[in-house]
Amino acid sequence: MYKQILEQLQPTQTKLVAVSKTKPVEAIQRLYDQGQRIFGESKAQELTPKYEELPKDIEWHMIGHLQRNKVKYIAPYISLIHSVDSPRLLKEVNKQARKEDRVIDCLLQFHIADEESKYGFNWDTAVDLLEGESYAQMEHIRIVGVMGMATFTENTNQVRREFQELHRIFKKLKSDYFAGEERFKELSMGMSGDYQIALEEGSTMVRIGTLLFGEREYGD
Ligand SMILES: *Cc1c(COP(=O)(O)O)cnc(C)c1O
């Protein structure tokens, strides 16, 4: 399955984030041995021991909701945080990155799904952030794109519309706030069940777990 997915991502050079949450280090090592270097996890307390045990050239991505009091554990090594879902979290990432003398790449997570969710930006809250004084002073984070999750539904038209909406948000942010900034280029969307639609709608990063590692025993 791994090679097949890579082939599908090849024409558009879309990056594969192998979502290894709940999976043991042995399973991660096996995919690493096949060449995979980007892995995604959704809990800081699960990620840090994996980081310590596994090869140091792995690029670790945080993809799940991140509590502010957990940022300090991942700040020393995290490559990309997909799930920045509030200004307060971004501020904390900036603070912890400063302590580590790093600049941490982040994506703004947008709430595009139908489902009720406490997490994620919408256009207005993102504008408030980007035009605010606090953001102007954050020198230890870089916003490099956006992330979103479509509704969990069989209705592929709806999923497609939601991805299209995220793509529109991405383009508008790019032109309004990141014009000419090469680094703002990531559109993280697509999971095991919907990554093919996401590819058609312009995804630059897909986050795939189940198709690579099998079903997870416990949730999230
Ligand atoms: C778990 C998770 C994924 C991967 O889901 P699969 O359906 O197993 O591919 C992708 N993105 C986020 C944010 C996740 O929490």
Taking only the tens place, the pLDDT of each residue in 8-32 is 999 999 999 999 999 999 999 999 9
Calculate ∠ Cα 109-166-103, nearest 5°. Answer: 40
Quick check: helix, strand or coil at residue 75?
Answer: coil
Residue 54: C-alpha distances to residues 79, 92, 100, 179, 195 (Å): 15, 27, 21, 38, 27
Ligand 1 center to residue 209 CA distance, Å? 6
Q: Tens of pLDDT along 114-157?
A: 888 778 999 999 999 999 999 999 999 999 999 999 999 999 99
**Pocket mutation for ligand 1, best pick of 43, 66, 207, 211 (most atoms within 8 Å of C-beta):** 207
What CA–CA distances, in Å, run from 4 to 8, 137, 148, 196?
A: 6, 44, 24, 12
pTM over 0.95: yes
Over the stretch 162-218, which tens digit does the pLDDT of each residue have?
Answer: 999 999 999 999 999 999 999 999 999 999 999 999 999 999 999 999 999 999 986
What number does the ligand 1 atom closest to the CA of 210 have?
Answer: 8
> Residue 220 domain-assigned?
no
**How far does residue 180's CA lie from ligand 1's centre (Å)?**
31
DSSP strand pairing (141-148 vs 186-188): parallel
Tell which one of 42, 211, 212 to mutate to probe ligand 1, the residue whose CB is within 8 A of the most ligand atoms: 42
159 pLDDT more than 70: yes
Question: Any residues with CB less than 8 A from the CB of 166 and at least 6 apart, and which?
Answer: 110, 112, 146, 148, 187, 189
What is the C-alpha separation between 15 and 153, in angstroms, rounded? 24
CATH code of the domain containing 83 = 3.20.20.10
- For residue 127 the two structure tokens come to 């504008």
Is residue 183 situated within a structural domain?
A: yes
How do residues 77-127 score in pLDDT, each as one tens digit? 999 999 999 999 999 999 999 999 999 999 999 999 988 877 899 999 999
Query: Does residue 74 contact residue 50 with C-beta atoms inside 8 Å?
Result: no
pLDDT of residue 115: 82
What is the distance in A from the centroid of ligand 1 to the CA of 205? 12
Is the residue at 219 inside a domain? no
**Residue of the nearest CA to atom 6 in ligand 1?**
209
Q: Which atom of ligand 1 is nearest to the CA of 216?
A: 8
CA separation, residue 93 to residues 68, 120, 202 (Å): 8, 16, 28
Residue 123's pLDDT is 97
Between CA 199 and CA 197 the distance in angstroms is: 5
Instruction: Give domain status of residue 93, yes or no.
Output: yes
Distance 142 CA to ligand 1 centre (A): 23
* Alpha helix positions (H), the chain: 2-9, 25-33, 44-53, 71-74, 87-99, 123-131, 133-136, 156-177, 195-200, 210-213
Q: Is residue 205 part of a domain?
A: yes
* Parent domain of 149: 2-213
* Assigned domain for 88 exists: yes
Whether residue 75 has pLDDT greater than 70:
yes
pLDDT at 42: 97
* Largest pairwise CA distance in the chain: 47
**Residue 219 banded pLDDT, cuts 50, 70, 90:** low
Q: Which residues line ligand 1 (CB under 6 A)?
A: 19, 21, 42, 63-64, 149, 191-193, 207-210
- Both structure tokens of 192: 């095991």
Examine residue 61 and state whether it is found in any structural domain, yes or no: yes
- Number of domains comprising the chain: 1
The span from the CA of 215 to the CA of 211, in Å, is: 8
In-domain check, residue 81: yes
CA of 191 to the centre of ligand 1 (A): 6
Q: How far is the CA of 207 from the centre of ligand 1 (A)?
A: 6
pLDDT tens-place string over residues 36-49? 999 999 999 999 99
